[in-house]
Amino acid sequence: MKFGGTSVATGENTRKVASLVEESVKQGCSVVVVVSALDGVTDELFEAAEQARKEKQEYIQAFKQRMFERHCAAITKAIKNSTIRKEVEQTVRKIIEELEKVLTGICYVGELTPKSKDYVLSFGERMSAPIVCGALQDLKIESRSLTGKAAGIVTDSNFGDANPLFNVTMHQLKERIEPLPEEKVTPVVSGYIAATQDGVVTTLGRGGSDYTATLIGAALSVDEVWIWTDVDGIMTADPKIVSSAHLLPQLSYQEAAEMAIFGAKAMHPRALEPIMKADIPARIRNVFNPKNHGTLISSEQTSTRQDAVKAVAMIKDVALINVSGGGMVGAPGSYARILDLLGKNGINVMMISAAASEANISLVIRRNLLGRALSALEIALLGKGFASEVTAEDDVCVIAAMGANMKGTLGVASRIFTTVARKKINIRMIAQGSSELNISFVVKETDGEAAVRAIHDEFKLDKM
Ligand code: ASP
Ligand code: MG
């Protein structure tokens, strides 16, 4: 069972989490718990690391105090037994003192390396796990908290987005975690964080607690991995945009991964890999509505619905770049040059489209990176007989329609584009990967919600 940041955001929520675990344990299940940092804490650590780099000593002091108060308030509400409470407080106090030392060190040298940044970011989950562990003990469930490193997750040194070394990780997790439930101990593992072979702390990328959970699930060959969050599961669309949007009871691994990539707030993009290989189902469930069975992600197709599109999402905060010029036509390596340049500048390209004329290529990136991308492209490309123009639009959004049955179904694209055209919405760019699991296109941001509603209607997603 993995619990996200909102599930442990406050002491009250943490008690809810503990009682959900208790319920399963009392039913005779063996449970391994994985927790995220308290909601917002990872972001705050990010900010604190930046402030330390700028040598803002006063910020660090105030930050330390804030962290301390936030976590102590959670402990007070989550744990009634005063002996357990004092112990957890002591543990968290020590962790925060270590955090202060790390930040002070960064302050002194005025430099923040990817390695030290990961070290700072690891503190959120290091603080949350002992609290959840204490809340379980408070309910008389024997429990022990472990960091990802202690649990045995080993990664490469790609700080900020480290990759687990799969075989050694599987072996160590099995060796260290599996015996605990047999001894009637419920392990609580810090999500998101791991370590290199030399023991240097790494993180698995934002949202990485899901990944921790599925790695453990695969290592222990569990029956199911439950991702507890603050929504009922994966929906056909954002209910804030489409009021008739509703829960999808079942998705394939590929569909769920596709939605994670498109930020439908489902999962860490690589989290499904370990369990997909082992054919272990995952279930997304709501801590605040545990009666709901959530969305099951598995290899079996349990839904009877055959229509091609299953869900539609709108991705905001993106920008469209268009590079054009006759010099690109028939010139081998011209697209590579553009993509390489963006890659070297740390700019991730979300979507690409280029027509057979080869005279232009369109790219979608995160909007906050647009300035950097444009200056890199203009400096490197213009006036070199290659590209003659670089233009951008920052008032756009991506609409992605997804579903495994789109593969090989004729007429899906035409239905999507006809329905959007009927709403008089202009499409700026289109991409469909040959996996055929999704069709994505770009429209003006002001047209985004209408496009989502039109597609939701066209494929009758409200009647599932
Ligand atoms: N706390 C980390 C984050 O906010 C990891 C997670 O929540 O899964 O990205
Ligand atoms: Mg989080």
Check if 51 has its Cβ closer than 6 Å to any atom of ligand 1: no
- Looking at 6-113, list the stretches that DSSP marks H as alpha helix, in order from N- to C-terminal side: 11-26, 41-53, 57-78, 82-109
The two tokens of residue 9 are 């955001």
269 vs 424: which has the higher pLDDT: 424
SS3 18: helix
Residue 402 Cα, ligand 2 centroid: separation in angstroms? 24
Question: Average pLDDT of 296-300?
Answer: 90
Can you read off the two tokens belonging to residue 83?
A: 């002996």
Backbone region of residue 367 per phi and psi (left: phi > 0; alpha: psi in -120 to 50; beta: other values): alpha
Residue range 318-340, pLDDT digits in tens? 999 999 988 888 888 888 989 99
Q: What is the average per-residue pLDDT within 43-53?
A: 96
pTM of the model: 0.87
Assess whether the C-beta atom of 228 lies below 6 angstroms from ligand 1: no
Question: So what's the pLDDT on residue 214?
Answer: 97
Q: Give me the pLDDT at residue 261, please.
A: 64
Mean pLDDT of 87-96: 98
Q: Which of 119, 116, 203 is nearest to 153 (CA)?
A: 203
Q: Say whether pLDDT at 197 is over 90.
A: yes
Per-residue pLDDT tens digits for 208-248: 999 999 999 999 999 999 999 988 888 899 888 999 998 98
Q: Report the pLDDT value the prediction gives residue 462, as an integer from 0 to 100.
A: 87
> Are the C-beta atoms of residues 455 and 419 closer than 8 Å to each other?
yes
Ligand 1 pocket, mutate which of 67, 121, 125 (most atoms under 8 A from CB)? 125
Confidence (pLDDT) at 264: 53
Instruction: Check: CB of residue 438 under 8 Å from CB of residue 402.
Output: yes
**% of the chain residues with pLDDT over 70:** 97
- With a pLDDT cut of 90, the percent of the chain lying above it is 77
Name residue 176's amino acid: R
Could you tell me if the CB of 5 is within 6 A of ligand 1? Answer: yes
Ligand 1 binding pocket includes 124 (Cβ within 6 Å) = yes
Lowest mean per-residue pLDDT among 54-63, 260-269, 277-286: 260-269
| pLDDT tens digit sequence for 361-392 | 999 999 999 999 999 999 988 888 788 899 99
Give the ligand at the shortest distance from the Cα of 209.
1
Indicate the average pLDDT of the chain: 93
**Most confident residue range from 129-143, 346-360, 386-400, 407-421:** 129-143
Asked if residue 263 has pLDDT above 60, the reply is no
CB 74 within 8 A of CB 10: yes
Candidate from 102-111, 255-264, 304-313, 426-435 with smallest mean pLDDT: 255-264
- Ligand that lies nearest to the alpha carbon of residue 211, given by its number in the listed order: 1
**222 CA distance to ligand 1 centroid (A)?**
23
Q: Is 123 in the pocket of ligand 1 (CB under 6 A)?
A: no
pLDDT confidence of residue 387 = 84
363 burial class (0-12, 13-18, 19+ CB within 10 angstroms)? buried
Are 49 and 203 within 8 A, CB to CB?
Answer: no
